[in-house]
Amino acid sequence: MRADSWAGLVTNASPFALPPGAAVEQVNLNCSIPGQLQSRGGMRPLAVSPEDRSSIVHCHAVQLPSGTAVIAQRVDGTVIVLGGIAPAAAPSVGFEPQLSVASGQIATSYTHRYADGRYGAAQDAPEPQPRNPLVEALDGGESDTAEWPFVVDSVAGCPVSGKLSVVDGGVARDDELPPDVRESELCET
Amino acid sequence: MSVGSFSPDRPISCAQGRYGEVIVVQGGGKKPIRIDGTTSRLAGLIAPEAAPEISTISPVAYYIARVDVTRPGAVYYSAPTVTFEQASSGFNDLVLLPPGATPPEFRAAKAAAYLNQSGVSEIVVSDGGKGYAAPPNGVLGDSHGKGAVLTPITTGPSVTDPANNPYTGITQWEVVSQPADTSSAAACGGGNEPRFAATNCVGVDLPITGDGTFTVHSTYGYVRTRIGNGAVCCGFCPPPREPDYTRTITYRVTGASGGAGAVLRLVWNGSTWVQSCSGGGETPPWSRWEGATQVEAASPHKIGAGYSDARTVRVEIDSIAGEQATIVIEGYTAGNPANTESRGYSLTGIRIDNAGSGYVVAPQIKITSASGFGAYATCRVAGGRIVEVTLENGGGGYKTPPKIEAVAGGAEAFAVARPHLRGKYQCYYRYIDDTPESAGGPIPSSLSPVREVDAGEGVAGLAWTVPSLTPGGRATSVELWRTTGNQATTLYRVATLAGGLHSDTLTDDELRDPDRAGYAAMPIVLPNGGINANRFTPPPSDKAVVVRFQDRFWYGVDTGGKQPNTVLFSGVDEPESVPDINEIILQQNTVDADAISALIPFGPTLLIMQARHAYSLSFSKQPVLDAQVVPIAHRGALNQRCWGIHDGVCYVLDQYGIYAISPGGRVEGLSEAIEDMFRSRIDFGKRTWPFLTIDPTTNTLRAFVALRGDGSDGFPTAALCYSLASKAWWIETYPSRIQCATQALLTTGDYRCVFGTPGGLYTLDDGHLDMARGAVVSVKITNPGSGYTSPPTVTARGGSCAKFQAVLDGDGKIRAIWILSPGYGYASGSLVVSDPESDGGVTAVAEYTATTNSADTPLHPTYRYKTGCAEYPSDAQNPKAASVSSRNISLLYAPQRRSCPLSMRLYYNNSPAPRRNVAARNRGVGFTADVVDSAARLDMAANTLKHGEDTGVASAMFAGRTIDDVASADRYVAVELVGARRNTDPVVFYKLDVMGTAE
């Protein structure tokens, strides 16, 4: 499947029948420009005079002699007239939540950074992880294959205890093992 | 500063009028308001409930209603002035004036005359004046030719002695009646026959000077006397004779006015004798001619002058002794038709004795005579003077010189006066406010109940009493209105005051005078039968929507439950005048009980939207009479906020989707691709706050709706977005509650969509940071639980639309919880994680942190994209796949200036949970696999690629094969891209290539 013409969100169809480029979920990515998928912009506060940053549940722009104004209904029902609407100064740096976890805990931020307690700091793109050499070693294979011949335990080594996972499919091609992975680390099941 | 207070339960609706005024409504019993600038007042004024109290002011006074020209006159060199006699006030005896009222003063009427061919053709009253105690007379000025003196030249006698004018003097006397001659013989002491004094020795001359009673004392002394049987002696006879005595003749003259100098000479006839009685001592005896019994002859001794041809001079002489009798003698001028002695003669010429002045045209030469006729003359004028008179025909039969005049002036007019008030008057009052005229004001109320006043045959005025204004109310003045007499169709404004007393002495003409200060006319009803004076009903308080359409304001969307399909409308440019009669009721022909939910001014039509039906309303002039309402679609609108117009096309959100209405009325659905969302994912139980807006800068339609399960408090939780250019849909979510939108011109000159949020106004799709309020920003798993066979549901309480996704490891524990959407309105706390399916399993425990709800926290907008399921061919379908089996995923993107991680996750066989590809490699092309949360990651920063120059191409290296006989084999894969925009440049993807899948 090659998606280079973004057809946008199509939910009213079987996900198995969607054409390339159609999405079953497309959040905050727009297709306004043909041929590209683009993240939306942010929110810029507007300065108004008199300054009023109360919750506004309804607004209606009108043209007054002094210029454009917005008649705004606050959340408490009161109506105000806001004039002199201009973009306000906006922060340039986004908030980054601190991800601090203890051993055994995993934290995730809204930007999909995470911390799992082993590295002490949030990770964006973790370095190649030695605990997962098998994945690194194998460049192919079928999942859900019951006869996968190896188990991997990069921490405790073979056999058994503390193994991270059971590879349930695939065929290792030893000739393509990367240099930093020893075949001895691949334990037979 | 607040300009109004409404309910927080539903949105207001606004419409702006031509003067900049804004009408705000909400329904639900809240009274609409009018906003001018930054001030507001309740819209409309409520009419007075009581009729005015009125009494009449007497006595009658008059004004000039009009002036009729009864004679045009001639030779006016300019329009004559018009004045009116009797300039006294009719208000001297005013009674019934209210306390403190000032009696009206007299004002003279003013009128102007207009000429037509030198005659007065019309007189227009510019000011009828007032206060005349009685109907005055109209007097015209003498701005006409005058002064010419024309004298006839005739063949008749010439006037040599003006005191004895042969034409105006009395040239003939005629005894008309007298008693019969009763002359008798002498008798002692005389007989009883009537006797008329004097003597017949000589005549008696009676001066005829004017009318009256005159007495002539005889100075003649001549008494015919006979001594004894001697001869008769006249004059001073020698003795014996009767002693001297004087005889007095008394006579009455009529018809002689104007004349003077005529003397009537009488000669008596007949005799009666008085004899000295024997023994009387006279010696010798004598007998005296005692008196005449008749007039023998009456002749002019002097003819005098100045007597009228038209009046006969009449002289009456009563007897002085004997029986009462009267001699009647008539005198005639030469021109008197009774004069049998005068002869007719001809007019031979006309002499100009005075050329006069001001004769702009040649006047008619008028020749009049009581005797002759037929003379005709013309004249010629120069320089305003008569320079020549030409006798065209001399006529004949003139016994006196005819009167010749140059006809000029002579116009006459009749002033028609009327009482100030007469007949029956319909009187009202109403309230007005102080809205300036430049803002469409003042705004009036409808009229009070009527008060009919009968002025009878005339009164001087009316004394009004109206209630004083309520302090602080919108009404700032009271207007008094009434009709003219005996009509009930048109009202005229009498006065504007602040309430209380008013003395109204306006005449009907003054009332109608458009130049009068404060004048205004107002038909009670229009010619077409529509109401007019009572159209100023305040806007309804049970309609939630107002729009402006063709200069009228339309009110709809009933909140009272009584008029679900009624639309009311105002007068033209009168948003605050919404009479009940101005209504359009949808005639529903379906069995569907639908109600109006929105009004959409759309080009030449007003779209009246119900929830499931759409109607088009159009009209030509008067909606009540010629409006046409046509159903156009079985689609509707969710509410008044759910439509927008862009590029001449109307886009509407209803419960079936989003559709477009072309100017021609063609309806086209736009949301087929996401139609299932309208059936099952959108919460239409919350219809009050969803809204639709169109960003003109990006051609993007956004329909903000509440999705089920989002924990919405009624407000939208997500935006269904549609590119009008590319026809593609997507969803946008925000870490703050987007509550409303409008399009406004910013001070920077940009025309943008402006959105209302809990933090005020914002623009969207602007900058690179969201402003979060209570958004979930991190999740920490403190206990991964156990026994899960499928990812548990994870939710947070208190806010809206945060979405989480748990990822399991192979041991039934939660490996990670993804924050798919940070939501808004949350406070930090514990997540709710569903229990594991397995018996003995342990429910995972997790916490989350949220940003503050009281201030903005800048967050990176997150995004998510997931493809449909692409098929991996099996070995059986493609034997070559068994040997190649590449399942790499390649992504073409725009490199970022700074770090910008992207996560890619795979969903196999349409599974709701992602799972990592077990055969992933971290080699060389950007993506690295991660075992923590089952994602492959890529940092799209341009300078982070280790292997070669960054070109914006990255591949995740996967492999695998699909064997048909393996249960749950990975036959389909969906690829998800998840990340956050972290830089000013947007994240841009160009191409996604999922290798190994069927095309």
The predicted pLDDT at position A25 comes to: 95
A88 at interface of B, judged by CB pairs closer than 8 A: no
**A133: confidence class by pLDDT, cuts 50, 70, 90:** very low
The predicted pLDDT at position B928 comes to: 77
Is the Cβ pair A52, B760 closer than 8 Å?
yes
The predicted pLDDT at position B371 comes to: 80
What is the mean pLDDT of the segment spanning B963-968?
64
Is the Cβ pair A87, B746 closer than 8 Å?
yes
Report the relative pairing of strands B760-764 and B770-772 from DSSP bridges: unpaired
The predicted pLDDT at position B966 comes to: 63
The predicted pLDDT at position B34 comes to: 95
The answer to whether residue A70 scores a pLDDT higher than 50 is yes
Do B264 and B171 meet the contact criterion of CB atoms below 8 Å apart? Answer: no
Task: Write phi, then psi, for A185 (nearest 5 degrees).
Answer: -80, -15
Q: Of the spans A55-59, B270-274, B892-896, which averages the highest pLDDT?
A: A55-59
The answer to whether residue B316 scores a pLDDT higher than 80 is yes
The answer to whether residue A116 scores a pLDDT higher than 60 is yes
Which range among B239-253, B328-342, B671-685, B836-850 shows the weakest confidence by mean pLDDT? B239-253
B326 at interface of A, judged by CB pairs closer than 8 A: no
What is the mean pLDDT of the segment spanning B753-780?
94
Peptide bond into B59 cis (omega under 30): yes
Cα of B835 to nearest chain A Cα, Å: 19
The answer to whether residue B234 scores a pLDDT higher than 60 is no
Cα(B590)–Cα(A158) distance, rounded to whole angstroms?
A: 77
Which range among A44-58, B57-71, B816-830 shows the weakest confidence by mean pLDDT? A44-58
What is the mean pLDDT of the segment spanning A69-86?
92
Kindly tell me the burial class for residue B858, based on how many C-beta atoms sit within 10 Å of its own C-beta (0-12, 13-18, 19 or more).
buried
Task: Please give the full DSSP string across B949-987, using - where no structure is assigned.
Answer: ---SEEEEEEB----TTSTT---EEEEEEEEE--SSSPP
A50 at interface of B, judged by CB pairs closer than 8 A: yes
A41 at interface of B, judged by CB pairs closer than 8 A: yes
**B197: confidence class by pLDDT, cuts 50, 70, 90:** low
Is the Cβ pair A112, B935 closer than 8 Å?
yes
The predicted pLDDT at position B279 comes to: 47
Cα(B911)–Cα(B905) distance, rounded to whole angstroms?
A: 12
The answer to whether residue A96 scores a pLDDT higher than 70 is yes
Is the Cβ pair A10, B16 closer than 8 Å?
no
Which ipTM was obtained for this model?
Answer: 0.73
A117 at interface of B, judged by CB pairs closer than 8 A: no
The predicted pLDDT at position B920 comes to: 59
- For chain B, what is the total number of helices (H) and then of strands (E)? 4, 76
B14, B848, B892, best to mutate vs chain A, most A CBs in 10 Å: B14
Which of B:728-747 have CB within 8 Å of A?
A: 728-734, 736, 739-747
B363: DSSP letter = P
Contacts A112 to B, Cβ<8 Å: 818-819, 862, 901, 903, 933, 935, 978-980
Do B257 and B168 meet the contact criterion of CB atoms below 8 Å apart? Answer: no
What share of chain B has pLDDT > 90, as a percent? 58
The predicted pLDDT at position B697 comes to: 87
Cα(B360)–Cα(B356) distance, rounded to whole angstroms?
A: 11
Which of B776, B760, B903, B797 has the alpha carbon at shortest distance from B849?
Answer: B776
Which range among A174-178, B61-65, B321-325, B724-728 shows the weakest confidence by mean pLDDT? A174-178
- Tell me the sheet residues that pair with B558: B543
Contacts A66 to B, Cβ<8 Å: 37
What is the mean pLDDT of the segment spanning B772-784?
94
Cα of A123 to nearest chain B Cα, Å: 10
B4 → chain A, closest CA residue: A79
Q: How far is CA B165 from CA B133, B155, B630, in A?
A: 49, 15, 101
The predicted pLDDT at position A159 comes to: 42
What is the mean pLDDT of the segment spanning A59-85?
91
Per DSSP, the three-state class of B787 is coil
Classify B551 in phi/psi space as left (phi over 0), alpha (psi -120 to 50) or beta: left
Task: Please give the full DSSP string across B146-204, using - where no structure is assigned.
Answer: EEEEEEEEESS---S-TTS-TTTSEEEEEEEE-PPP-----EET--SS-B--S-SSS-E
Is the Cβ pair A12, B675 closer than 8 Å?
yes
The predicted pLDDT at position A136 comes to: 37
Cα(B702)–Cα(B98) distance, rounded to whole angstroms?
A: 68
A120 at interface of B, judged by CB pairs closer than 8 A: no
What is the mean pLDDT of the segment spanning B414-440?
92
B760 → chain A, closest CA residue: A53
Cα of B14 to nearest chain A Cα, Å: 7
Which of B30, B415, B133 has the alpha carbon at shortest distance from A79?
Answer: B30
Which range among A129-133, B78-82, B113-117, B854-858 shows the weakest confidence by mean pLDDT? A129-133
Give me the residue from A42, A62, A107 closest to B766, CB to CB: A42
Is the Cβ pair A29, B764 closer than 8 Å?
no
Give me the residue from A29, A59, A144 closest to B754, CB to CB: A59
B927, B932, B955, best to mutate vs chain A, most A CBs in 10 Å: B932
Q: How far is CA A153 from CA A135, A158, B424, B801, B958, in A?
A: 12, 6, 113, 40, 21
- CA B978, A9, B821 angle in degrees (round to 5)? 40
Cα of A110 to nearest chain B Cα, Å: 5
Name which residue leads in pLDDT, B359 or B205: B359
The answer to whether residue B995 scores a pLDDT higher than 70 is yes
Q: How far is CA A77 from CA B5, B10, B261, in A?
A: 6, 9, 110
Is the Cβ pair A37, B865 closer than 8 Å?
yes
Encoded amino acid at B90, one letter: G
Contacts A29 to B, Cβ<8 Å: 730, 863-865, 987, 989
The predicted pLDDT at position B253 comes to: 95
Contacts A16 to B, Cβ<8 Å: 868-869, 871, 910, 972
Is the Cβ pair A67, B745 closer than 8 Å?
yes
Contacts across the A-B interface (CB distance below 8 Å): 512
Per DSSP, the three-state class of A80 is strand
Which range among B193-202, B223-232, B903-912 shows the weakest confidence by mean pLDDT? B223-232
As given in the structure block, the two tokens for residue B568 are 């009311």
Which of B574, B583, B623, B584 has the alpha carbon at shortest distance from B445?
Answer: B574
A119: DSSP letter = S
What is the mean pLDDT of the segment spanning B910-925?
69
The answer to whether residue B47 scores a pLDDT higher than 60 is yes
The predicted pLDDT at position B807 comes to: 87
Average pLDDT of chain B to the nearest whole number: 86
Is the Cβ pair B868, A17 closer than 8 Å?
yes
The predicted pLDDT at position A155 comes to: 41
Is the Cβ pair A43, B972 closer than 8 Å?
no
Task: Please give the full DSSP string across B675-703, using - where no structure is assigned.
Answer: HHIIIIIB-TT--SS-EEEEETTTTEEEE
Q: What is the layout of strands, in order, in the sheet containing B657-661?
A: B643-646, B649-654, B657-661, B667-669
Is the Cβ pair A92, B769 closer than 8 Å?
yes
**A170: confidence class by pLDDT, cuts 50, 70, 90:** very low
B759: DSSP letter = T
Do B874 and B964 meet the contact criterion of CB atoms below 8 Å apart? Answer: yes
CB under 8 Å to B161, separation ≥6 — which residues?
none
The predicted pLDDT at position B590 comes to: 63
What share of chain B has pLDDT > 70, as a percent? 86
As given in the structure block, the two tokens for residue A80 are 């105000």
Cα(A78)–Cα(B562) distance, rounded to whole angstroms?
A: 27
As given in the structure block, the two tokens for residue B442 are 């003042």
What is the mean pLDDT of the segment spanning B924-947?
70
Is the Cβ pair A85, B981 closer than 8 Å?
no
Cα of B591 to nearest chain A Cα, Å: 30
CB under 8 Å to B381, separation ≥6 — which residues?
B145, B359, B360, B361, B362, B363, B387
Give me the residue from A26, A57, A112 closest to B731, CB to CB: A26
Q: Where is B704: in which H helix or E strand?
A: strand B700-705
B248 at interface of A, judged by CB pairs closer than 8 A: no
Cα of A84 to nearest chain B Cα, Å: 6
- Tell me the sheet residues that pair with A151: A166, A187
As given in the structure block, the two tokens for residue A128 are 């190649």
Per DSSP, the three-state class of A185 is helix
What is the mean pLDDT of the segment spanning B20-48?
93
Encoded amino acid at B411, one letter: A
Give me the residue from B744, B784, B862 closest to A70, CB to CB: B744
- CA B856, B857, B863 angle in degrees (round to 5)? 115
**B414: confidence class by pLDDT, cuts 50, 70, 90:** very high
CB under 8 Å to B652, separation ≥6 — which residues?
B598, B600, B609, B614, B635, B636, B637, B642, B643, B658, B659, B660, B661, B692
Do B335 and B399 meet the contact criterion of CB atoms below 8 Å apart? Answer: yes
Cα of B750 to nearest chain A Cα, Å: 9
User: pLDDT, tens digit, for every residue of B247-257?
Assistant: 677 889 999 99
Cα(B95)–Cα(B88) distance, rounded to whole angstroms?
A: 17
Is the Cβ pair A32, B723 closer than 8 Å?
yes
The predicted pLDDT at position A45 comes to: 93
The predicted pLDDT at position A13 comes to: 94
The predicted pLDDT at position B233 comes to: 53
Is the Cβ pair A39, B987 closer than 8 Å?
yes
**A177: confidence class by pLDDT, cuts 50, 70, 90:** very low
Which of A:134-173 have CB within 8 Å of B?
A: 135-136, 138-145, 164-170
Contacts A109 to B, Cβ<8 Å: 777-778, 819
**A2: confidence class by pLDDT, cuts 50, 70, 90:** confident
Per DSSP, the three-state class of B557 is strand
The predicted pLDDT at position B97 comes to: 46
Cα(B975)–Cα(B960) distance, rounded to whole angstroms?
A: 16
Is the Cβ pair A46, B993 closer than 8 Å?
no
**B55: confidence class by pLDDT, cuts 50, 70, 90:** very high
Task: Write phi, then psi, for B166 (nearest 5 degrees).
Answer: -65, -15
Cβ neighbours of B68 (radius 10 Å)? 12
Contacts A147 to B, Cβ<8 Å: none
A58 → chain B, closest CA residue: B740
Q: How far is CA B660 from CA B631, B645, B653, in A?
A: 15, 9, 9
B994 at interface of A, judged by CB pairs closer than 8 A: yes
